[in-house]
Structure 1
Amino acid sequence: MSPLRGRLPRVGWVWACLALCLGVLWGCASSDASRLDALTTPEPDALRERAMRRLSLATAYFEQGQNEVAQQEVRAALQIDPQFAEAYSLLGLIHQRGNATPLAEQSFVQALRLASVGGRPAELAAVQHNHAWFLCQQDRFDEAQAQFNLALSQPLYRQQAKTWMVQGLCQQRAGRVSQARVSWQTSLQLEPGNPITRYQLSLLDWQNANPAQAQATLTPLNASPQATAASLWLGIQLARALAQAQEQQALSLLLAQRFPHSDEAQALTRQKF
């Protein structure tokens, strides 16, 4: 849920304004925007882009855990463009986080209805992705899988790697581990730099007693700035299982330096492997 763009006025409109303003210093510049809105019909694309700016703010607040402010920004986006399906989709996630399940369901139903008639397949896929995750959190796994499948089938959808990744998380939650592995492998092929997918696949191999494969998958993540305390701790355990003392020491030093106050660093200090 997703990256602000502004839009400059049409060139023709600019020239018309300049022509009308000749001889009148800043006359047009002081015109009331609300009067212009009352006398003309804003372009649909301009409305959508204004709404997208507010939705981008809403998404940022949502990611920071500020649900109330995020909901206010979603409301502002929908006041600009009441047909904005992705705004209703984010509203569904906000209600879901607030444990307001009926409101979340209503928001997603409205989002799906609007996205289905909007002629924007990528937007529809994004809504279906979010709805699938909502259904998964409700343990409605078959319904969630159907929504994931619909999202992945939409043309021009460029977030397939993310959907494959989240689908894998849902399949793991449902106990469908073999399916989760396929989803994460597909996600990693589409987006090799995805740290969540790489970590989850490595963890799955580690849990299945395949430390060598797990290490091969995890090493590029731990060698990158995207390494986390969890990924470094997993790397330490893998090196220990494979009797790689130097690798274990190097990763231990990295964990202590980068994440000294993490639970993983404390576990390392106490040697709780």
Structure 2
Amino acid sequence: MGVLSNMIDEKELKPGDHIYSWRTAYLYAHHGIYVGDGMVIHYTRAAGQETGTGTFLDRLLFSSSPSNTGNLCERCGDQSELHGVIRSCVNCFLDGGHLYLFHYAVSPAFFVAKARGGTCTLAASDAQDAVLHRANYLLNNGFGTYNIFNNNCEDFAIYCKTGLLIKTSFSGGRSGQLSSFAAGFGALASSHLRFLAMNPAGLALVVSSMYSVGRYLSDIGVRGDAFKIPVERLVTQSGVGRQTEEGTTEAETQQ
């Protein structure tokens, strides 16, 4: 487990591992749960609908669905139009990117040292059988409505690993990526004009410290509004139905 990189070889993977791959010049990553036999269960939105905003961002943020390059995978076929919880081979999940392992139960010092969000958490992972049960259960029953801000692929993977959900209406989800963006914005926005009079080193220290504190306090491993929710109750409470072959749930199809 290194501070500089979480890259891992596919041969090292174990069922229940939370993996991810960076997309679009390392701006963000796509996350999933490795379930063995070279397959990954992950939460996705169809190509060109990533943010669901109907703007150019839907084309720019293309992180979830495996792309259709014309050479269809023999195991997966064309998954570029699927959305919801799907099962793909590792190669389709990576979509040309490198493979990385998300780390759990890291120390506060290590967490802060990993300045990039979406790579680790202070929360502990549950046992392998619990992780695989959640992933497979959600594959068959869905994970609600995809939302890039509070119900995305990283949120899905973290829930599978920990069973934790944020129980406030102000939640920004469990995603470390978005938490780091929010912490960075907050650090800059909270820097008063008097900081501009500081030398560059002092300003950098203040902003980086505020950024680290913001990331730490928003991590699901220390948040006071994170609660363990059994996957069966999660599905019942959220009203999601069994997924159809197209990747949508019955509840979504009926809407």
State TM-score, norm by structure 2: 0.23
Q: Which has the larger radius of gyration?
A: 1
> Which has more strand, going by share of residues?
2
- Which one has more relative contact order, counting CA pairs under 8 Å at least 6 apart? 2
Higher helix share: 1
Q: Give the structure-1-normalised TM-score.
A: 0.22
